[in-house]
Amino acid sequence: MMRRLLAVFAILGLALGLAAVWVYQDWQRFADQPVNPDSELRLWLPSGTSFPALVRQLEALGLASSSSWHWQVWRRLHAPALKAGEYRIPAGQRIEELVRMLESGRIVEHRFTIVDGWTVARLRRELASDPRLRHVVTDLEDGRLMERLGCAACPAEGRFLPETYFFTRGSTDLELLQRAHHGMNEALARAWAERQQGLPLATPDELLVLASIIERETGKAEERARVAGVFIRRLELGMRLQTDPTVIYGMGDDFDGRLLRVHLRIDHPWNTYTRHGLPPTAIALPGWPALQAAANPAPGTALYFVARGDGSHHFSDTLEEHNRAVNRYIRGRR
């Protein structure tokens, strides 16, 4: 009798052992199988997504079966807390790696670059056309936007720092603008604190305006400080700045790509050919190098410069020399 019981227990033990081995191997096959072997996928988990909802979403993509016992066991054993966001699922990623990634919250970061020299209107158009952002200020006028940013008295132009900003899908355009606005406030305060003494600039806002003009006048790093020096000397001497980008900015949508002599005679607040001093606002978004140049202009005697046509400029001390350069580089090209 005892031998029979021992034999039965031995058979049961063997069966249970074989079953355990089968379950373990089946579980390992499940955990090790690729979610999607062929191509990369993007998975978006809204806030509050439950584990069953995740499985249903994977099932809708053809990547899982919600009836599989493996998912139920995983949920009960690990009870993973899923973090909202967008996830990148590489081709061949194992199911176990996927679940661990979702638990850790390794969400995809996107980038948005504000380019040096953009206007705030261009910046807002680019933001409005970006589908990765949630748009909450698209319809706000610039004045209302600056109110939302806590700077109601600030003109919007020039108030956002050109830089590459990282964000997650579902972030708002306002959040990105807040970061860029804060970045510009910090950069402007730093440039003002590090400025040369004795500049004819009364406030950080005036430095911002000058930096925006420098930004629009040259893209050559080695020329920024020289251009700044020309404008600083003109301000000190009471000369008009006579810079084309300010005229173009003041024309707004009326500018068709051709700046004519008649445009230089039409008076408006940004026409530095008809008015002395700096224009009332910035004309673009200046980057840190332009802010540095405005705060630390290069010494020299030049009062004029003209584009050579290759991106660089010819600098002149006298009007006579400048007129010869204009004849050579502008009228000669025409």
pLDDT digits (tens, 9 = 90+) for 206-265: 999 999 999 999 999 999 999 999 999 999 999 999 999 999 999 998 888 888 899 999
Q: Which residue type sits at 157?
A: E
pTM > 0.75: yes
Distance CA 231, CA 217 (A): 11
For residue 166, pLDDT over 80 is answered with yes
Tokens 């660089």 identify what position? Answer: 312
Rounded Cα–Cα distance for residues 132 and 149 (Å): 21
The token duo for 174 is 């306002």
**pLDDT digit string (tens) for 121-146?**
999 999 999 999 999 999 999 999 99
Q: What average pLDDT score do residues 6-18 get?
A: 57
Query: With respect to CATH, is domain 40-108 assigned 3.40.50?
Result: no
Residue type for 162, please?
Answer: P
Tokens 């008015």 sit at which residue?
275
Domain range summary for the chain, segments of one domain joined by +: 40-108, 110-187, 205-331
Residue whose C-alpha is closest to residue 39's, from 94, 93, 97, 107: 93
pLDDT for position 9: 56
- In terms of Cβ atoms closer than 10 Å to its own Cβ (0-12, 13-18, 19+), residue 171 is middle
Question: Does the pLDDT at position 282 exceed 90?
Answer: yes
- What phi, psi does 67 have (nearest 5°)? -85, -5
The b-or-e profile of 132-167 (16+ CB within 10 A means b, else e) is ebeeebeeeeeeebbeebeeeebbbbbbbbbbebeb
